[in-house]
Amino acid sequence: INAEKMVLKFGRKTRKFATYVVAAGLQYGAEGGMLHTFFKMAWLGEIPALPVFGDGTNVIPTIHVLDLAGVIQNVIDHTPKPHYLVAVDESVHTLEDIVKCISKNTGPGKIQKIPRENAYLTKDLTQDCLDHLLVNLRMEALFVKENFNIRWVAQTGFVENINSILKEYKQSRGLMPVKICILGPPAVGKSSIAEELAKYYKLHHIQLKDVISEAIAKLETIVAPKDIGEGKEEVEEEEEEENVEDAQELLDGIKESMEQNAGQLDDQYIIRFMKEKLKSMPCRNQGYILDGFPKTYDQAKDLFNQEDEEEEDEVRGRMFPFDKLIIPEFVCALDASDEFLKERVINLPERIVAGTHYSQDRFLRALSNYRDINIEDETVFNYFDEIEIHPIHIDVGKLEDAQNRLAIKQLIKEIGEPRNYGLTDEEKAEEERKAAEERLAREAAEEAEREHQEAVEMAEKIARWEEWNKRLEEVKREERELLEAQSIPLRNYLMTYVMPTLIQGLNECCNVRPEDPVDFLAEYLFKNNPEAQ
């Protein structure tokens, strides 16, 4: 309030420019604003109900950010006389209305009222956000509505425009679902690849057996007897009775179908359960990886085609009117030769094969059935080609990669980057911790390897030096022996023919002591040479 008064007072003191205070409601739109935390909780689907702080009856004035921008633009263009303006939409929504709307349209569909004090324990909500969310105030922008020309984006309010607000929010945040279908023969690696992609993209891994089990368990929960509270209204009781009757009828139909088909469920039930799963809010938000289904052209057509389109539209459009909400964006067609698949199954450990379709008879029967289905012109891949979703074909046998890492890498390259919120603060910290540990381990391993290499090199150097010295000593010894062997004849010759005369000459030189001893000795040797005599 003091800041507002200061701004208005400053504008009155100077004529160079005018100052205005625009009192805006809680802003939403674009990346979510202060409601981002509720959008994120709903989109992630990690909690069963969105929290409402207190009783939720407090009225929150709101306005879309683009509408607020329009108000400010009008203030700039027209410089109105009032310097204090209220900018809100026409809605009178409570906190409960807003949170319930978010939960219904992008979350679990439920809310849970928690004590007001617990709001301060929510780490993603700042004090400023809480002040806006817990306010109880009714405001009306009379001057703005009567005098400004605004192209309203959400004049009627948040709840009435939730679809466009959600679309805008998801586009701003890059929250587009990634929908993948992985098909191929048994033992080609569909499930292992789907698991890795589900971890990388944070998607829901959908397998047929899990969908059927989940649907039957849900129906059994509905038909199970419940304790009806005394305060339950008659209308709710009637609706619940109708749901129980429908669920019981469906369960009876499932039981009859499985009895008639040797434990196998009829396609109409499979398609119904799978379609409900793909239309669930988590799959609509994050996306899914459909593992090994549909198997045939007819299953794909029944699963993905629009239910409310007439047959004439199909012919006129030259393309099946598929349901854009659940149709996969990427179809991966894995394949390999029969010999490769048989070899892979034979090499599987017994603990993995036991109780699965990888036993010899069941595997060969499943492989033969898959080949028979995909020989015809109307295969499941033809269906996707017809609706311009061309499968990504990968021959697993040619990659020679037992862990399917190359296939996963190729699919990630085709699909692109994840389209979700990214890592949370905890996940980022965990990733950084793991990266730091890996870096330290790598540096320690490199240091140990370097030290080991240096030690090996030093040992080799010492060994070479010792070998060289040893060989040098051997060479010297051999040279000495050779010299000694070569000097024996010469020594014998000198002792026999030279030394006697030389000793006599030296003695005579010592006795005579001539002026030139060398010349004297030479002359003596020449005269007394035994051979000359």
* 260 has binding-site annotation: yes
Is 213 known as a binding-site position?
A: no
Asked if residue 253 belongs to a known ligand binding site, the reply is: yes
Annotated binding-site residue? 105 = no
Q: Is 280 annotated as a binding residue?
A: no
198 labelled ligand-binding:
no
130 annotated as belonging to a binding site for a ligand: no
- The residue assigned the tokens 């060969």 is 364
**Residue 193 is assigned to a ligand binding site:** no
Q: 527 a known binding residue?
A: no
255 annotated to bind ligand: yes
265 annotated as belonging to a binding site for a ligand: yes
188 is in an annotated binding site: yes
Q: Is 199 annotated as a binding residue?
A: no
**What's the Cα-to-Cα distance from 132 to each of 123, 127, 148, rounded to whole Å?**
16, 9, 26
Determine if residue 389 is labeled as part of a ligand binding site: no
Consult the annotation and say whether 293 binds a ligand.
yes
- Give Cα 211 to chain centroid, integer Å: 24
Q: Which residue has the tokens 């990634």?
A: 178
User: Has 286 been labeled as part of a binding site?
Assistant: no
Contact in structure between 206 and 290 (CB atoms under 8 Å): yes
Question: What does each C-alpha distance from 46 to 26, 50, 64, 214, 428 come to in angstroms?
Answer: 26, 10, 28, 18, 18
Q: How many helices and strands, by DSSP H and E, does the chain display?
A: 23, 11
521 is in an annotated binding site: no
Determine the longest span between alpha carbons in the chain, in angstroms: 160
Which token pair is 2? 């003091």
Instruction: Give the phi and the psi of residue 109 in degrees, each rounded to 5.
Output: 85, 0
250 annotated ligand-binding residue:
yes
- Determine whether the annotation assigns residue 155 to a binding site: no
Q: How many angstroms separate the CA atoms of 45 and 516, rounded?
A: 123
Residue linked to tokens 């379609």: 275
Q: Is 272 part of any known ligand binding site?
A: no
- Closest-CA residue to 383 (of 181, 116, 158): 181
Q: Judge whether 189 is annotated as a binding position.
A: yes
Distances (CA, A) of 453 to 350, 429, 433, 439, 467: 43, 35, 29, 20, 21
Is 264 labelled as part of a ligand binding site?
A: yes
251 is in an annotated binding site: yes
- Has 247 been labeled as part of a binding site? yes
315 is in an annotated binding site: no
Burial annotation 313-332 (CB, 10 A radius, 16+ → b, else e) = eeeeeeebbbbeebbbebbb
Q: Is 256 annotated as a binding residue?
A: yes
Tokens (6 digits) for 293: 């289904």
Beta carbons of 8 and 83 less than 8 angstroms apart: yes
Please return the burial class of 501, using the count of CB atoms within 10 Å of its CB with bins 0-12, 13-18 and 19+: middle
360 is in an annotated binding site: no
Q: Is 229 annotated as a binding residue?
A: no
529 annotated as a binding-site residue: no
User: Would you say 244 is a known binding-site residue?
Assistant: yes
- Any known ligand binding at 259? yes
45 — alpha (psi -120 to 50), left (phi > 0) or beta?
left
Annotation: binding site: 187-192, 242-265, 292-295, 299, 365, 397
Annotation: binding site for AMP: 242-265, 292-295, 299, 365
Annotation: binding site for ATP: 187-192, 397
